[in-house]
């Protein structure tokens, strides 16, 4: 395995890595993650029976906002000019997958933005359905966010 440096670490602490010497390129990243929910919750989402509102539309808006604010959330992440964001969902029997694709033209990639978008979309879904997902003791024994990962990263 190749020995890689931690580019954010210096003798004096941390730094934001200098990318100014890099050429602008079109960059695309796609991330995915899932939230496990009860079957009855999925049915309620599909039927628009959640009292807080449209769960997936709200999660899309939250994901887009979080992508645009990633550099404010992750301390050493560069602020980027985002050129496009798509947020999609795959609904299964007892889980929802969130897929976020982010595009930019710049000097550094957008994988952190895609991961952040997926994470916040899934957190928003949880927040929208938590009243249904809670058990009698107020716990969430079946609800789980997992498998958040980058599935594609491109420089064009």
Q: How far is CA 15 from CA 7, 9, 28, 56, in A?
A: 8, 6, 24, 37
Please give the Cα distance from 122 to 5 (Å, whole number): 32
Say which of 24, 88, 127, 135 is annotated catalytic: 127
Tell me whether residue 49 is one of the annotated catalytic residues. Answer: no
Instruction: Compute how many other C-beta atoms are within 10 angstroms of the C-beta atom of residue 55.
Output: 23
H-helix or E-strand spanning residue 130 = helix 111-133
Where in the sequence numbering do the catalytic residues fall?
127
């Amino acid at each position: 395995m190749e020995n890689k440096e931690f580019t954010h670490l210096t003798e004096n602490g941390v730094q934001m890595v200098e990318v100014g010497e890099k050429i602008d390129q079109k960059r695309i990243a796609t991330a995915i993650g899932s939230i496990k929910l009860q079957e009855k919750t999925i049915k309620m989402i599909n039927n628009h029976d959640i009292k807080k509102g449209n769960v997936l539309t709200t999660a899309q808006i939250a994901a887009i906002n979080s992508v645009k604010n990633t550099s404010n959330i992750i301390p050493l992440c560069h602020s980027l000019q985002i050129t496009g964001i798509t947020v999609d969902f795959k609904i299964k029997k007892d889980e929802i997958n969130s897929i976020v694709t982010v595009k930019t033209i710049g000097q550094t990639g957008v994988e952190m933005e895609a991961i952040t978008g997926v994470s916040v979309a899934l957190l928003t879904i949880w927040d929208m359905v938590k009243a249904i997902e809670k058990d009698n003791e107020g716990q969430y024994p079946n609800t789980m966010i997992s498998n958040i990962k980058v599935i594609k990263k491109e420089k064009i």
